[in-house]
Structure 1
Amino acid sequence: MDAVRTCVACRKREARTVLLRIVVRDGRLIPDDRAVLPGRGAWVHPTARCLELAVSRGALSRALKVSGKLDAGPLENRLKTLMDN
């Protein structure tokens, strides 16, 4: 059985293979597709809706225990690429 994680945006519990792990590098949100990057990670559904919710509510900052504005640009671009395919 796959490990279960909770989306920081919608709070739904899913298998970790369904969710996308996000980490912070140099103040930017980076997708961790293989869930192997070091450091604290936050899990979110790979959808624009959940990403927008997580950013607007400050859920990613809280989950990642960072303060200040995070740059979600690289992550948003990555999600657009995923959704276009």
Structure 2
Amino acid sequence: MRSKAEPLRTCIGCRRTAPRAELLRLVRDPEDAQRVVVDPRRRLPGRGAWLHPDRACLTQAVKRRAFQRALRGAADHEAVDAFVSSTARASVRAVTVQAESGSEI
């Protein structure tokens, strides 16, 4: 059985391609054109950019000014920074709180 081909997108930070499911879609905020927001459902209108949910990719994207280039204009990425930070904290918490033996499960 062959599975359906999954669409690939390019991360604006590291410039590597990855399946769409592994990346965050970013768009300009419909209410504030200067602000960039994360589109978790991938349904917001407008031009989108894709980013790995990783601090290193975010740092590279900011350094390279990739938000401005991908979204065609000035862009404030604070909401994306907050989202990536909260995602990183949640993953660290999930990794550090592990059962020591099989009895806790």
Report the TM-score when normalising by structure 2: 0.74
Which of the pair is proportionally richer in helix? Answer: 2
Fraction of identical pairs, as percent = 40
What is the CA distance between 1:57 and its match in structure 2? 0.7
Say whether residues 1:44 and 2:65 are aligned partners. no
- Give 5+ residue unaligned stretches, structure 1: none
Q: Alignment partner for residue 21 of structure 2, among 2, 17, 29?
A: 17
Aligned residues: 83
What is the CA distance between 1:75 and its match in structure 2? 1.1
Which has the higher relative contact order, 1 or 2, with Cα contacts under 8 A spaced 6 or more apart? 1
What is the CA distance between 1:23 and its match in structure 2? 0.6
Q: Give the Cα–Cα distance (whole angstroms) in 2 for the partners of residues 73 and 58 of structure 1.
A: 14
CA RMSD of aligned residues (A): 1.0
1:4 alignment counterpart: 8
Helix, strand or coil for the counterpart of 2:38? Answer: strand
Is the radius of gyration larger for structure 1 or structure 2? Answer: 2
1:62-85 C-alpha deviation (Å, 9 max, x unpaired): 11111x3x2211111111111111
Instruction: Give the letter for the 2:62 counterpart.
Output: V
Report the TM-score when normalising by structure 1: 0.90
- Give 5+ residue unaligned stretches, structure 2: 91-105
Which of the pair is proportionally richer in strand? Answer: 1
Helix, strand or coil for the counterpart of 1:39? Answer: coil
